[in-house]
A and B are shown apart, each in its own frame.
Chain A
């Protein structure tokens, strides 16, 4: 019952409580601890606490992945701004294959594609993603599967 996942969930919930409360007296803090423990208990009781809710095995490589993703997002933001100003869009729709095994890996990959402006995941069926790209360059970025390799690397950080 007390394992890495439930402790992480408790820390996240209590951190949110501290952020929102702003009053740090013993009474309020103990009420916060009690309500966070109740929430964690209900989550375990309802069997919601699995790898999909809280993929903690991502965490060791998550910082490096986030920095890489922010760099990609900045690059594609500048390109999208250029496309909008120059009015040079030529949208295209295509399918790519995802090499992730688990659901949380696929969700991370699809969300990373959508988070970089210029590419949007429109439909997902098993491991085929349908992607809409604003220009051919953005499409080539997705088809070259750099991001796919990066997410697979993140997924295998066990």
Chain B
């Protein structure tokens, strides 16, 4: 009983992860400029990666592999905002003009 429910939860988690990754990569093609595309890339890095890693954790049982998977998840979770911020910051510095409206005073 427990085995079956764990299997089902991990399949659901894989489906959600694949959905978020596919949507994120469609967003990378579809959105208009680099600042908007960072949101799609962030979606791949947070929801997609987390759900697929959760599915693998449920599949692997409890061993050293589980701890390594958790480490990969935490590592991607911590480094994703850093690369996103560095890319956005440099694009602003080099004068890429964002699509859409600008509200109030910006730096």
Contact = CB atoms under 8 A, between A and B. Distances in A.
Q: Specify whether A and B are partners.
A: yes
Given A91-B36, A115-B46, A120-B38, A128 B30 contact: no
Contacts of A112: 81
Interface string B35-55: 110111011001100000000
B27 A91 contact: no
- Dominant secondary structure at the B interface: helix
A92 B106 CA distance: 11
A91 B46 contact: no
Given A84-B23, A123-B107, 7 more contacts: A19-B67, A77-B46, A77-B47, A80-B27, A94-B103, A117-B43, A120-B35
Closest 3 CB pairs of A and B: A91-B100, A114-B81, A84-B27
Interface of A: 19, 22, 73-74, 77, 80-81, 84-85, 87, 89-95, 110-112, 114-123, 125, 128, 130, 132, 134, 139
